[in-house]
Amino acid sequence: MILTDIEGTTSSISFVKDVLFPYARRALPGFVAARGREPGVRRWLDAVATELGAACDDGVIVETLQGWIDTDRKHTALKALQGMIWEAGYHEADFTAHIYPDAAVALQRWHADGHRLAVYSSGSVPAQRLFFGHSDAGDLTPLVSAWFDTEIGGKRDAASYTRIADALAVAPADILFLSDVVAELDAAREAGLRTMLVDRLDDYPEPRDAAAANGHRRVTSFAAVDVAR
């Protein structure tokens, strides 16, 4: 079983930072004005207000969310709202989601070879499905059999990986987790998963040395991933 992160791993950080985040930032005020009363949207706006610890109007909530986008806060409410906003962007073909060609090829090969593939990203599950469904390499969603976001727990928390293994009904040692973030790999290793640091030179121009990789195997492309080990 292969479990992969998205941003910085299958896909470039710059696409997320330079295309997706500015799109969500711009669209947020109009989105909240138009859809803020829908229960599925209100639920997340209320979660932000709760976090602020005070009754606040939607203007304050929008400003807070825009601040969180600016600091790349991986908050579940922000991620859920971003996913809803990006839906329009994908459907109106404003953009397609970046995927490294080596990642698209490897995912297709692993799937054809009978490996089960799952995704674990801070992006919400609907945002992950949109991302893979509208990728530069076309619709990759049929390759993925399970999707996980931070509703199962934080990516730097070992318990999240234990929950994922339970949900997949797979022994932790039979899951290979691919990520660009060493702290996420540390948490996965603590839960018993196999790990590999994906060190994309486009995203990380100064490759991380063995000490920075903290004992995780390191590759710069999915082409070098040996799923058997």
Ligand X SMILES: CSCCC(=O)C(=O)COP(=O)(O)O
Would you say 46 or 151 has its CB closer to Mg ion?
Answer: 151
Looking at 27-35, 62-70, 144-152, 175-183, which segment touches Mg ion (CB under 5 A)?
175-183
User: Which partner from the list Mg ion, ligand X, none does 89 bind, CB cut-off 5 to 8 Å by kind?
Assistant: none
Give the C-alpha separation, 97 to 185, whole Å. 24
User: Tokens for 89?
Assistant: 């962007």
User: For residues 179 and 197, is the Cβ–Cβ distance under 8 A?
Assistant: yes
Q: Does 74 bind ligand X (CB under 6 A)?
A: yes
The binder of ligand X chosen from 45, 127, 168, 175 (CB under 6 A): 127
Task: Identify the CA nearest to 179 among candidates 146, 144, 222, 135.
Answer: 222
Report phi then psi at 55, rounded to 5: -70, 125
Q: Please say which residue, 29 or 126, places its beta carbon nearer to ligand X.
A: 126
Report how far Cα 200 is from the mean position of its chain's Cα atoms.
16
Beta-carbon contacts of 34 under 8 Å, excluding residues fewer than 6 positions away, are: none
User: Mask 9-48, x = binds ligand X (CB under 6 A)?
Assistant: -------x---x----------------------------
Q: How far apart are CA 190 and CA 185, in angstroms?
A: 8
Give the one residue of 3, 8, 130, 149 binding Mg ion; rule: CB under 5 A.
8
Residue 160 near ligand X by CB under 6 A: no
Contacts with Mg ion, residue ranges (CB under 5 A): 5, 7-8, 180
Contacts with ligand X, residue ranges (CB under 6 A): 5-8, 16, 20, 74, 79, 82, 121-123, 127-128, 131, 155
